[in-house]
Structure 1
């Protein structure tokens, strides 16, 4: 995306450099060419002074360990003659904060987390060039439950023992006598930002389509292909449960899951594959993306339901499986996964001890970024699931 030019800041920073230069010239005049003048003239040849001025201009804050720390008295005096230059550190820091502003609180999670299963989230659209790309990774444990490098954004009022879940065995055995994995899409019409050759006909929303070549069904196809190559057996349900009505989609997909589990008792893993939506308060559309092996790749977020939304005795078992999947992604592709999220809704995960909701990118991503993520997720998850075969 082409950055916006902030003319006000540009003018202030130019003025800062001009006033700093003027300050040096004035001090030279006052010094009358004596020792002070010699010292000041020498500053131009002092790499420490040049570095300090440049660091301040670029936004580093002054301080005991800041740009002024390595300068002698004269160097500090010259730099301090320009309040604008000193203020430039703060101004540039504020600019950097604005430029890096994302809708994430804590890092890696949306500030306004959508948890209404009957209403679609706000999905403001934008041209590809106006979408802000962010790699959403945690910068600190604040706001998370953490254990062994795994981060969980707990949106519930429940106490979650993540360390216990991460250490717990996954009590699932995959049989080779029938299908092992069910891939389903409660919101199958969700789609990505049209870009390049991936242009689709929208349905009731500019970020949704009934064309299975461009919606979540295509992402599920990619996962199915990789799982199958690994030797795992998959049933992929391509039904669009969110069309023509979004409300009630989870009720409709729940009936399907029950039927599949009854028809194929060998299915132990249920992956409900979606994509997220990230929109800032100002309408800015964000996409969660990283670069892996030279390929732009959407980030993946595992979402867990909880007993806060109703009877759900197996939620800790689902969490134990999710921890293993997250750990595998972290090990194989360190920036692929966003922190996991736990919400109050159950997302039909009460139907199986091996259920996880998988969000592949956001509506700001492109389909190709999502497909790259689907492949890497399936490879990561596949390593975990192969270990569960009996």
Structure 2
């Protein structure tokens, strides 16, 4: 449909002035033949009320559409803008700016979005939405106070149980380089984790929001990352085994054995990425998807998860894993609007004690679609590739 705008009538102000003058003249004539002293006093009191005058002007001018630049202006402000050619010429630009800000503004974070963090050690029973499209969007962003620590624009959500201050973000170091041979290992401790089917990406569920079909679960997301890394010249090993099926419990023990085998087979591996998807359910049972607007497109947010020794594992070098996460996070927040959620520091180790370059990566949540997850994973890998390219020995 075409762009329909109301044409400005150049004689409208003149007609209003003449009409008002005639009305005043008529009132003056009547006052000469009638005793209107009481009415005149009431009119004077009414005219002294600025709110009443503004209300009268608003009634005459009408309410502007909510999407226009005039929305929110009172009668005086709108009259000033409408009768000024210079100000009127800028209303379209103001409306466009408002629309752009609304499209790019991140959604309000859910209060205590990460408070339900269960460290992935026990399976969460997920329920399908009441309606197919009953999924809410949110954007996870860093906050001040509470469990959050920040330094140089990098936010850390501390769920490790450790008493820490922002200096932890610069306490570790990345001391390794990438040489010849396989450098990156991608695997999935919970490979059957899958996404919403709202975009028509249908699969046979092995459990709610899970499937053993690796074309539709996080294994497919890991392959998307691997393809990007390979395009940047890295040698990647992608382990597509499902370590959470048929049993969820013990998945990290099984993936630990696999990581040890891969590191023994390829000692050149320096980066180990355990790729997952998150699960976000509100206190009211609502399902949430994690969204970032990147280049006008909705993609799934990505979160780096760093394990510690708080859960009892022998992991004295966890600060070095965190140092790598911080280095990657700085590039991510430099490259994208809000692709990266705050780094999460947790009590479990997630087998990260096996290599100082080990991280857990969560791509979106179960409310996201596979398409959104693939798009987010691709952007993540592009950004990470920039950092890793500078680490080649």
TM range (shorter): 0.7 to 0.9
- Asked whether the equivalents of residues 171 and 319 of structure 2 are also in contact (C-alpha less than 8 Å), the reply is no
Moved runs in structure 1, 4+ residues, more than 6 A? none
Q: Which runs of 5+ in 2 are unaligned?
A: 1-37, 67-73, 78-106
Aligned pairs for 1:79-94 (under 5 A) are none
Matched, 1:147 2:156: no
Q: Which residue number corresponds to residue 55 of structure 2?
A: 44
Q: Find the aligned partners of 1:163 and 1:288 in 2 and give their Cα distance.
A: 28
- Asked whether the equivalents of residues 102 and 280 of structure 1 are also in contact (C-alpha less than 8 Å), the reply is no
Q: Find the aligned partners of 1:166 and 1:101 in 2 and give their Cα distance.
A: 29
Q: Find the aligned partners of 2:272 and 2:348 in 1 and give their Cα distance.
A: 17
TM-score, normalised relative to structure 2:
0.74
Q: Which residue number corresponds to residue 131 of structure 1?
A: 135
Aligned pairs for 1:279-294 (under 5 A) are 279-294=281-296
Matched, 1:323 2:332: no
Deviation at 1:163, TM superposition (A): 3.5
Q: Which residue number corresponds to residue 11 of structure 1?
A: none
The verdict on how the C-alpha distance between 1:30 and 1:154 changes in structure 2, with shifts beyond 3 A counting, is farther
What is the DSSP-based 3-state SS (H/G/I as helix, E as strand, rest coil) of the residue aligned with 2:42? Answer: coil
Match of 2:274 among 257, 269, 272: 272
Deviation at 1:110, TM superposition (A): 2.3
Match of 1:373 among 349, 357, 376: 376
Q: Find the aligned partners of 1:167 and 1:334 in 2 and give their Cα distance.
A: 27
Aligned pairs for 1:71-86 (under 5 A) are none
Q: Which runs of 5+ in 1 are unaligned?
A: 1-28, 56-66, 71-99
Q: Which residue number corresponds to residue 79 of structure 1?
A: none
Aligned pairs for 1:335-350 (under 5 A) are 335-350=338-353
- Asked whether the equivalents of residues 109 and 141 of structure 2 are also in contact (C-alpha less than 8 Å), the reply is no
The verdict on how the C-alpha distance between 1:250 and 1:167 changes in structure 2, with shifts beyond 3 A counting, is closer
Match of 1:261 among 263, 272, 275: 263
Deviations 1:152-171 (Å, cap 9, x if unpaired)?
11112213354354375411
Aligned pairs for 1:1-80 (under 5 A) are 33-40=42-49, 41-44=52-55
Deviation at 1:34, TM superposition (A): 3.3
The verdict on how the C-alpha distance between 1:234 and 1:31 changes in structure 2, with shifts beyond 3 A counting, is farther
Deviation at 1:283, TM superposition (A): 1.1
Deviation at 1:352, TM superposition (A): 0.6
Q: Which residue number corresponds to residue 251 of structure 2?
A: 249
Match of 2:233 among 231, 234, 243: 231
Q: How many residues end up aligned between the 2 structures?
A: 309
Aligned pairs for 1:171-210 (under 5 A) are 171-176=175-180, 178-203=181-206, 205-210=207-212
The verdict on how the C-alpha distance between 1:208 and 1:36 changes in structure 2, with shifts beyond 3 A counting, is same
